[in-house]
Amino acid sequence: MIAKPGHIPIRGRRAGLITGLILGLILGLSAGVAAQDISLAKFIDGFERDTGGRVYEIERERKDGRIVYDIESVRGDRIMETVVDAATGQVLSEEAENTALWTPISADKKRALMDSPATLGRLMLADSRLSGKVAVRDIAARLGKGGLLFVVTTENDGRIILTAGGGEAP
């Protein structure tokens, strides 16, 4: 489900919310690598707040000749996939995953995401390591011994681990 130019294929009242959130991403991505990550954090924070969902995975990929962010989130009982153009911030597609065919996230991880007071967006905004010149390649939620963790992989294969409590994992 790829959008026509200028069209955001999200139905209902979410269209306005997502459009507003994307604007921050657009402004930051045009300013360079440091702004890119700050804007991604702001986008994710707003996305989670406005949709009530919890992002558990982000991948920076090349699709159809352009760089996109593939964002996986839990919204209530649904698993959603949202694809955003990294250069323009345009939402290219959003659809519910068919969980009857496969399970993209375990029940325990889903429960931990929904029960955690700390969202990925807030953790990213609060972490000073993500406000510098760090290009994020992907982010994945993990359940560790201490609870929910987010593993941030940077373009130079560095790892930043965020705990749901806001501190760095041991």
Q: Is residue 9 part of a domain?
A: no
Instruction: Please state the rounded mean pLDDT for residues 36-59.
Output: 81
Q: How many domains does the chain have?
A: 1
- Please tell me the predicted confidence (pLDDT) of residue 73: 93
Burial of 100 (0-12, 13-18, 19+ CB in 10 A): exposed
125: phi then psi, degrees, rounded to nearest 5 = -65, -35
C-alpha 33/C-alpha 28 separation (Å) is: 9
- Please tell me the predicted confidence (pLDDT) of residue 131: 66
Q: What is the pTM of this model?
A: 0.70
Q: Is residue 1 part of a domain?
A: no
- Structural domain range at position 76: 14-163
Instruction: Please state the rounded mean pLDDT for residues 43-71.
Output: 88
Q: Which helix (H) or strand (E) holds 37?
A: helix 33-51
Q: Is residue 3 part of a domain?
A: no
Instruction: Please state the rounded mean pLDDT for residues 37-55.
Output: 80
Q: What is the DSSP string of 70-133?
A: EEEEEETTEEEEEEEETTT--EEEEEE--TTT--SS-HHHHHHHHH-S--HHHHHHH-GGGSSS
